Amino acid sequence: MFLKQWGGALISCTVLLLTACTVVDLDENGKPVLPADPNAKHSFDNLTPQQIAQQTWQSRVIDAANQHALDASSLESKLTASGEKPESYFVHLETPVTEVNTSDEREQKFTVSINGKPLVIQVGPVIKGNAIRDATGFVFEDFTNQVQFAQLSRVYNREAVKQLPKIDASWVGKPVSVRFAVTLNNGTAQNAAALELKQETQP
């Protein structure tokens, strides 16, 4: 009698447990496919810098630059307040080009004016600095090692160049819409790197 009662209780408990379970899909190996924890820290341990860039370019660079870019006034305020610790930001400006420098085929750049102060923006094919990577908010602790962190910056810079048009002296004096990343340090703007660049229609 005791065994029957115990057995019935066990079956009831099993039924309750199964009823409470959520049905989980299985992968091709029969293992459960669990949803990703939205609060979990993204791990790049087993990814190459190229793979990291492919996964994050749209969300961490393009979307962020579209949604959070500083305008000229905000950039000027950040520039004035900048200290010894470098800080990088995305910026969007609509402004005339004051100078184009293509004498070095590997390091082409153009200049715009921010409240009367020149700002040089790189268009590659070689882009110096880490402005794009650092404007994303990534920090060294997000990565496996310093090499991976440094290489991601170079991959981002190369990716940015792919999106840009060729510039020449004919751009001088013409208004452009330019979205870029820049590093601010001790009141100076450094290593500005273009992400999107196009000529605007003159009124």
Measured distance CA(167)–CA(124) in Å, rounded: 10
In angstroms and rounded to an integer, the radius of gyration of the C-alpha atoms of the chain is 26
> Which runs of consecutive H residues, i.e. helices, occur in 33-145?
49-56, 64-68, 72-81, 131-135
User: How many angstroms separate the CA atoms of 152 and 52, rounded?
Assistant: 7
All structural domains of the chain, each given as residue ranges with its CATH number in brackets, are 49-199 (2.40.50)
- Measured between alpha carbons, how far is 85 from 116 in angstroms, rounded to an integer? 25
Per-residue pLDDT of the chain (203 residues; tens, 9 = 90+): 544 454 454 444 444 444 444 455 554 555 454 443 344 345 677 788 999 999 999 999 999 999 999 999 999 999 999 999 999 999 999 999 999 999 999 999 999 998 888 999 999 999 999 999 999 999 888 888 888 899 999 999 999 999 899 999 999 999 999 999 999 999 999 999 999 999 987 66
Taken as a whole, the chain contains a residue count of 203
Does the bond joining 125 to the residue before it have cis omega, within 30 degrees of 0? yes
Tokens for 113?
């004016």
Residue 43: per-residue pLDDT: 63
Q: What is the pTM of this model?
A: 0.77
Position 35 scores a pLDDT of 45
Question: What was the pLDDT predicted at 14?
Answer: 45
Interhelix angle 49-56/146-162, nearest 10 degrees: 50
Burial (CB < 10 A; 0-12, 13-18, 19+), residue 37, is: exposed
